[in-house]
Amino acid sequence: MNVIVDAQHLVFRYPEVTEDNETNVQTEPVLKDVSISIEKGSFVAVLGHNGSGKSTFAKHINAILVPDEGKVLIEGMDTADEENLFEIRQKAGMVFQNPDNQIVATIVEEDVVFAPENLGVPPKEIRQRVDDALKAVKMYDYRKHAPTQLSGGQKQRVAIAGVIAMQPDCIVLDEPTAMLDPQGRQEVMDTIRRLNREKGITVILITHYMEEAAQSDRIIVIDGGKVLMDGTPKEVFSQVETMKSVGLDVPQVTELAHLLHKEGITIEKDIISTQECVEALAALLDRTE
């Protein structure tokens, strides 16, 4: 197995500032002995309620945060070693919730230029990277537009293009669709899936939307700073009661199948897509005729 992210017994505490501005370390860690390995080229969704530690874990992948105990390796490089910082951030790009906080230029293509230019990429190669990145997110026709003229979904795709232009092996997306309407969410998810399937980019998606998580290869559920569940979408979402016990939902079609099963109706409990649900209900109706 070719591992790109390897968290080993990760423990992290946020510093607490007291009233007299002295910084103390909290006794309760946000992440508690977390060990997670993520394979290169995979699409992993990380779920957890607010305060569970999922975004804190994401920030360790990009070395925005470093462990208090344990270690995080990105393609074998220790994030706690400052000498690795530059290369780690080329390997693992980060896309945040609000695209307006990530877009720095007044023209779309100039924004995508920003990262490779700061990495010292030769101008001729920058041009090619920018064009390729904008085409990958289907925003090439908007390259001369001002970001202010774009929809939320289009802005987020530009932010993703800015990361792609760095040519990372891994993209970490921290709730990238949280501020978008349904159409914008669909645009971003289509882009994420295409980058993973066609370009082999490892995708780590932090999300509150269960239907988005259902599109991944693997789901990791973090609760109280620990890994609660780790498996395929079908394996995780079929545990409806466990998910609800930690304040999380499941896809609506999974909920429907769960309720029908509780009423004694024979139907698969691991349904996670609308198509699966339609087929299962059609088969059920055929049996009752």
Residue 111 reports pLDDT greater than 90: yes
The per-residue pLDDT for 180 is 84
pLDDT grade, residue 22 (50/70/90)?
A: low
Nearest to 88 by CA among 112, 110, 119: 119
The per-residue pLDDT for 102 is 85
In tens, the pLDDT along 66-77 reads: 999 999 999 999
In tens, the pLDDT along 249-260 reads: 999 999 988 888
Q: What is the average pLDDT value for the chain, to the nearest integer?
A: 90
pTM: 0.89
For domain 3-250, which architecture applies?
A: 3-Layer(aba) Sandwich (3.40)
Q: Lowest mean pLDDT: which of 38-42, 134-138, 147-151, 284-288?
A: 284-288
State what percent of residues in the chain have pLDDT above 90: 61
